[in-house]
A and B are shown apart, each in its own frame.
Chain A
């Protein structure tokens, strides 16, 4: 059995998944996923509903525990510490510390409704990273500017449109200065006319060199900014490659079928 070693980070991989399995009870949702995400790479994950895309993202962030296989982020095993040739399950604060450096954006935004936009963004840098308030405030305001919502800093989330809420959610994740950003269908809950503004922010982020794993049905986004496209179905990777390879010349009939439906 080979284990992923610390040199993975040096060799430029942000996420390495090797034969990852995940079951919920008797339901096997992921049936051996093997894929690598390089540092700075933008990967889009496509696949029909129920194919296990969200589950895979949640495993990377340890919101679910692995059933079998190996998964590492930035050279560190997800959920385990390796010592004396044994794997020790991480304690809660160790898991939390790992998550603090991975940003996640949800389909349903999940902003904190009882906090203003600025408070949403500042909560974790102050409470988790223990950074000084003034410094965090400056960064939060700069991020709001970047996502085009500087004038909404004191608004409550419920007063914002879906597109604005999602942009705040992205700013909130970025305020933790993550090394990796996970997006789970970030535009699927939005009215069609609001999708563009969120995709613009994500494209800007991709161009800035952020490592991103994006589950989306936005083929345009995948074609324009993704370095790689992975097509998943029924818990396995059916096809992976460049956007050109997977989106334009898909080899597998299941991929062809899916692409023709979402285009």
Chain B
């Protein structure tokens, strides 16, 4: 009986006209956004205060480009320190040695719990706290000693400040990634005679990367702009370079726009890069 009903209705369906679902609000949203974009573009073009000719003039100026370069390598180095430290902290945190676990926990607690701005200042003024740094036997004779100001230059202070802070965040990101890997993967590796470090390097970390990459990319983009904090160390990265220029010519808005466009461009490149890195580490997962 059910079959009969189905058969009858399917006969009817073939002859009927299909009415597509309409989306009137979608069209409304297109219209609203189009109007807003038009207003924005018109304002950008007609308001002389933006100073587009000035933006064009300074966009490729050597001081801005040098600042951009400094921002790029400072971001790269600080992230390198942060990622390496993050992996070490995560491994310590997951270790069976309770001392290593505590050290990692304390580190993350401290560096996440204080403003990175203060940490940067601390590294910048460390010579006031410790005028001399020395290597030697604890509480015993010292072997070599350095003038702190020579060892911790503004550049070193910037890398240390940003990298050590980033390490605390990366530590948590890496830990979450490692914990997301199926325990069966470690067992299978152990059963094949693989040792801990090899399992981590060949099996666990490559799989953890799928979980690690999106927040890591997020942090890299965030770092790109956090580098502007090192202006407190008188380090001329992109934003500080722009500030130095407008303190001379008072063209504040155009120079801030110049710097911002560069930040946007670099962020766009990083976002594209993130896509490819995610695709690489996602290999083998069912689409």
Interface positions of A (Cβ within 8 A of B) = 61, 63, 92-93, 96-104, 106, 108, 110-116, 123-124, 127-129, 156-159, 169, 172-173, 176
Contact = CB atoms under 8 A, between A and B. Distances in A.
Contact of B192 (A93, A128, A156, A159): A128
Contact of A113 (B192, B193, B195, B285): B285
A96 B207 contact: no
Interface stretch (B71-79, B102-110, B181-189, B229-237): B181-189
Scoring B192, B196, B284 by chain A CB atoms within 10 A of each residue's CB, the highest score goes to B192
A110 B184 contact: yes
17 contacts: A61-B190, A61-B191, A96-B190, A99-B193, A101-B193, A104-B191, A106-B184, A108-B184, A110-B182, A110-B187, A112-B203, A112-B207, A113-B284, A114-B283, A114-B284, A158-B286, A173-B191
Nearest to A107: B184
B202 interface: yes
B279 interface: no
A97 B194 CA distance: 8
Contacts of B203: 112
A21 B193 CA distance: 24
Contacts of B184: 106, 108, 110
Nearest to A125: B192
Contacts of B182: 110
A102 B190 CA distance: 11
Given A110-B187, A123-B202, A156 B284 contact: yes
A124 B193 contact: yes
Most chain A CB within a 10 A radius of its CB, from B184, B185, B190, B193:
B193
B285 A172 contact: no
Contacts of B285: 113, 158
B132 interface: no
Given A106-B188, A127-B202, A113 B207 contact: yes
B187 A114 contact: no
Contact of B193 (A63, A114, A128): A128
A103 B188 CA distance: 10
Given A61-B190, A106-B187, 13 more contacts: A93-B195, A96-B194, A96-B195, A101-B193, A102-B191, A104-B188, A110-B182, A124-B193, A127-B194, A156-B284, A172-B192, A173-B192, A176-B193
A63 B187 contact: yes
Contact of A63 (B191, B195, B283, B286): B191
Contacts of A157: 284
Nearest to A123: B202
Contacts of A112: 185, 188, 203, 207
B96 to A, nearest CB: 11
A74 to B, nearest CB: 15
A178 B187 CA distance: 17
Interface residues of B, number: 22
A100 B207 CA distance: 23
A106 B182 CA distance: 13
Interface of B: 182, 184-185, 187-188, 190-196, 198, 202-203, 206-207, 281, 283-286
Contacts of B195: 92-93, 96
B185 A100 contact: no
Contact of B284 (A96, A110, A158): A158
Contacts of A102: 191
Contacts of A127: 194, 198, 202
A128 B286 contact: no
B100 to A, nearest CB: 16
A114 B286 CA distance: 11
A235 to B, nearest CB: 21
B286 A96 contact: no
B7 to A, nearest CB: 32
A127 B202 CA distance: 9
B196 A100 contact: no
A97 B193 contact: yes
A115 B284 contact: yes
Contact of A114 (B188, B191, B198, B207): B207
Interface centre among A97, A123, A172 (most CB of B within 10 A): A123
A124 B207 contact: no
Nearest to A113: B284
Nearest to B198: A127
A96 B188 contact: no
B4 to A, nearest CB: 34
B14 to A, nearest CB: 36
Given A110-B185, A114-B207, A159 B191 contact: no
B108 to A, nearest CB: 27
Most buried by A among B188, B195, B206: B188
Contacts of B286: 158-159
Contacts of A103: 191
**Nearest 7 CB-CB pairings of A with B:** A100-B193, A110-B188, A124-B192, A156-B284, A104-B191, A110-B184, A158-B286
